[in-house]
Amino acid sequence: MTGALQHIDIPAGRIEYRWVGHRGSALHDAALPVLVFLHEGLGCVALWRDFPDQVARATGLPALVYSRIGYGGSSPCALPRPLTYMHEEGEAVLPALLAALGIRSHILIGHSDGASISLIYAGSAQRDGLLGVAVLAPHTFCEEISVLSIRAAGKAYAEGDLRARLAKYHGDNVDGAFRGWCDAWLDPAFMQWNIEGHVDRIMVPVLVIQGEDDEYGTAAQVDSIAGRAKGGVDTLLLPDCGHSPQRDQAARTLKALAGFVGRLQI
């Protein structure tokens, strides 16, 4: 992987991030769009592994990979997280981070919670510089399959080795990362969570990638985005693929992302 870990302070707290490539160097023109990677509900910079590097190489664009507050080496979060935590990320924290880093032209690539945050960001205001949004295993509303799988994850965290495995990546943030995600999704009121109104307002191209065997969501999520976003939607349902297309079907996911980015007006 390229790019050393760095930190930046924004109003929400200290954010851990790394660059893939060097903006403004001989390797990358600072005027090029930046690929911005938003991790899943239990993810962070490190858990993307080298996938952002592969996408950056395939597209010729620099990339920003960061850990949200409460994850990885970023500032801890307060618990319990509000059920609107993804709205706050998309409407306030992400815009502040992009502004602090001087990022103008950009393309979002989000996974799971990060995909939903990307959709909220794209549909919550006029986003100057946003060229497109690629979402892997997104959620636009809460499904029973999500609740059942998250409940199982909660049991694995309490009784199995999931906490120990996550602690390798989140350190002292591990309980905040897990409980902030799990407890919000398992709150009975979260069954009413829905961001389809934001998707209705998206005016840039969208790529949706989902595994046919996704244990956290169904193809209804894909259909919702395809029927609502106004900037054009490409969809890809992958066989033999669960909730993480970038791991389960890395080559096909990489090809789809590179093709999508190549079709944008850069």
Q: Which residues contact 29 (CB under 8 A, 6 or more apart)?
A: none
Q: How many CB atoms lie within 10 A of CB 53?
A: 18
pLDDT number for residue 126: 87
Instruction: Provide the residue count of the chain.
Output: 266
pLDDT(23) > 70: no
For a pLDDT cut of 90, what percent of the chain falls above it? Answer: 92
pLDDT(27) > 60: no
What's the pLDDT band for 24 if we cut at 50, 70, 90? Answer: very low
Nearest of 94, 108, 109, 44 to residue 70 by alpha carbon: 44
Q: What is the tens place of the pLDDT at every residue in 108-131?
A: 999 999 999 999 999 998 899 999
How many angstroms separate the Cα of 99 from the Cα of each of 78, 85, 229?
Answer: 24, 20, 25
How many angstroms separate the Cα of 164 from the Cα of each of 66, 80, 149, 171, 257?
Answer: 22, 21, 19, 10, 32
CB 127 within 8 A of CB 209: no
Which residue, chain included where needed, has tokens 């389960």? 248
Q: How many CB atoms lie within 10 A of CB 251?
A: 8
Q: Which domains does the chain have, with CATH numbers?
A: 6-263 (3.40.50.1820)
Q: What is the tens place of the pLDDT at every residue in 65-105?
A: 999 999 999 999 999 999 999 999 999 999 999 999 999 99
33: cis peptide before it, omega within 30°?
no
Q: Residue 117 corresponds to which tokens in the numbers above? A: 């945050």
pTM: 0.96
pLDDT number for residue 59: 95
